[in-house]
Structure 1
Amino acid sequence: MYLHCDPTASHYLKTLLDAIFGFQSFTNEIIWKRTSSKSDHSQGAKRFPRVHDTILFFRKTPASTFQPVFTPLSDDYVDAKYPHVDADGRRYGLWDMTGPGGAAKGNPYYEVMDVSRFWRYSRDRMERMVAEGRVVQNRPGSVPREKRYLDDSSGVAIGDVWTDIHPINSQARERLGYPTQKPLSLLERLILAASNEGDVVLDPFCGCGTTVHAAEKLARKWVGIDVTHHAITVIEERIAEEFPNLKIEVEGRPRDVVAAHDLARRDKYQFQWWANWLFGVQQYRERKKGTDKGIDGEIFFLNGPRGVGRVITSVKGGGTIGVQAVRDLRAVIEREKAEMGVLVSLGHPTSPMRVEAASAGFVQTAHGSFPRIQLAPVSELFSGIKPRLPMAAPLDQLRPPKPAKAKRGVDDHQLQFVYSFQGGKQLGEAGEVVHIDPRQRVSRM
């Protein structure tokens, strides 16, 4: 098990994990240098720049899978450690074979090539190495040394301080804009070290899906769990792009009207995001805090000489809904100068609502004439009945207005670890607890 955190809380979390799993299961504290010092040091700050995160590594038993990870040898290292070339043209170096610590460390004492010492290897293994020509004595009486060939080396074993994995560049292809997104290479290293092909990898807070992406890439089975429907949608899109032929299963997503009612009762925001997904919205309102100005989602389309067309969605998760919701949406469309609007509702629209929507008339677009306001009850969406809209165009082609940049603070997509102190970077409003529904998961088994 790996737990990734920042240095502010790592010592508290280490204590909790020791209590849960036993201190003997603790294996490593991995230090990941995630950024450079200049990016975390404001003028006048009275502290050293914070440049690393902590990864706590626990193993259930000593027999748990672990495979050392290596990096290639540097040219300077090769020149220093492998300076010799034999008659076959193979490069090699000579290494110390004496056993440090002597008998106290369990090293055997015996004679090799007329030299008696404590050695790293047993007598039987030493005799095999001598017979294979892997033991070299430069002159009579000198301490024999082990002959190691460069082409037999796996590289340099990686220790518990990682400085070679850089944070995701702002222009990187893998960047999805998720606040806590980790580099793919970081998760690949963790998975390679602690699993074999075909093993199952679980990420119970999978966010934008970096862990499941790495697991699939490395031929592991996987299960990802997240609280938000938005996160699961991001993962689905990511997996579809990277592995177009892969079939995955999503559990916990409403599949009928009864389940939709249950979701709306438990979490109106998750219902809002899920309903937008079901409807095919391109851009969601993703945060809980602050006013939404009547806009829960948006769809964009090419509108000929008029430029980019815009459809605004409003989602209502209440059991009952009235004509005022239609009037409110109409006012938002007029204020935003949008072409159309869709009211997605849990409840079934009333006759006055349909009359009010029809009174908004039609709008002419480059794709033809469409009702300006359309009603989309969830029951109809489940039946495959969707509003008639212009064909949406890819956002990267349209360059629609970007949503306001979120302030650095509490991320509504992530479970907040509640302590009596504030951890990490400045959190903004303190004390908010995000209740999670752990039943939604995406997996490939």
Structure 2
Amino acid sequence: MPKININKTELVWLGKYDEEGKLNPVERPGPYPFQIVEVINKPRTGKEVGQGTLFDYWESDEGNTFEEGWRNKLIWGDNKLIMSSLLEKFAGKINLIYIDPPFATGADFKFRIQVGEEAEEITKEHSIIEEKAYRDTWGKGLDSYLQMMYERLVLMKELLAENGSIYVHLDWRVGHYVKVMMDEIFGYENFRNEIVWCYSGATSPGIKVLARRHDCILWYTKSDNYIFEPDRIRQEFSEASKRMEGRKKIFHHGKEEVTITLPEKGKFPEDWIYIPTGVAMINERVGFDTQKPEALLKRIILASSNPGDLVADFFCGSGTTLAVAEKLGRRWIGCDLSRYAIHITRKRLLDIENSKDLENEGKKYGKKARPFEILNLGKYERQLWQVKTFTNKDEKQALFEYLAFILKLYGAEPVRGFTHIHGKKGNALVYVGAVDSPVTIQECIDAIKDCKSQGGKELHILGWEWEMGLNDAIEEIAKKEGVKLKLRIIPMDVLDKEAVKKGDIRFFELAYFKVDIKTKGREVEVELKDFVIPHTDLIPDEVRNKIKKWTDWIDYWAIDFDFKSDTFHNGWTSYRTKKNRALNLKATHTYEKPGKYKIFVKVIDIFGIDTSQIFDVEVK
């Protein structure tokens, strides 16, 4: 433990100070540009500027209100990297932050998934990325948890507006530690309340503790000038008291008479609230054990933000904060490390179109969720990993070590003397894609030519990401050249030293699907005909046994009928909900003008992983 001078009351843990007793600074990696993966509920206007690449890059130039073109943002990735990258444009601009961080159990990363039309239920275990996050959070016990929270809370303070509030939802295991930490970060004087949320639920028989029936929510502000509107969340009087609303009442206080007027809008909100879970949340449940009720978030958002304000949740999970902010007419930013959480949140926001509980501010903007974007930082996380892993070497040496590293994990040996062949595994030759760009069709063609020139009959291509539409096109080319081609995804697990050490790395084939496209005049019909997950042998029996037909693998599919080689615009979609498990396998669209168009089809499986293809059509 480093020797430190104690000159204030504070919480100390291993990792907070260095060996010389100096406070370890909070890293602010980046900023990295956000990649726009998908735009939802925003029809094409014809004014979009195509980048001609796999992604657009978001520059945050859309203004600060809905009227100025603001789009809400759902971001997949590590929230530390995301918040650090948001600082450039959003420091001091977020009016309300609510977070529900992990409490100390693996349940924070587990979800219940419904499969197929029969809604067969399975439990989705951690992905390797989520497992890594769990190890990073709890690998060194409480010390690593507190370090994780400290780094993120410091960044949240910088993002918070001067009139902003932050609510941190915790339970009996870590709440008291985080309270002392937040006193240091936000200032003891800016602590406003400890809110007690009480709920009901079953109790395990024979348990040797008092039944746990509440969580705590710590409320801090950035300054004394903060938003708080109690009239919006006043609680109704009991029936007996309602006859007294607005009337004067005299109380005797010692020898004095005190006259008060009972408020007409209900009693002042208290820091103790009862909002049940269980049956009360039956219509909200999306399979997350840690999901919180919308009524709880509605209370917080109404009290501490105004319509049009910016609300953020950096551990958004099932998307409760974002869904409620949407219904209440607030702008929002949400992020999560789980790809599946992002997918479930996307569906939840899309389903607001059918919601009957849009609040007045939400109704101003229509009967469905306003346009929002799905973004990620994935490519730049890999670049950061490459820099950290292969530093202090010249470019040629760093590239060689990167290739050798990936080939070793794949069970292949390096070979020299070729531009587009990097290794050999058995009788197959191997090509490894770059760390910072998708594998292109031209790269595959060049690798196939190199393979054929050496008399090779089998080629494996490893890539982090793949050019849209590559799968079908390159398969046909390889067949003509007499080369058996296998495309494999380099998993994000290779970024994790522990997973590498344990030998947990598996390279999966790309999933693929078939569609039938028919045109009649200016009308086009797209029918989904098949979907194949090649690596089913690596999927647990519990899951495979629930699959009755190929459509059971699919949870969602969407189409951009006029793809401009820029960003996928979700123009049509069909997805399974808790109430409606059916999937519409046909989509039709009528073009305004004849011509040649690109149709971008995206299919998302039950694990939240997407597969995409692009098709060229001509309508007359």
Q: TM-score, normalised by structure 1?
A: 0.47
For the pair shown, the structure with the greater C-alpha radius of gyration is: 1
Higher strand fraction (1 or 2): 2
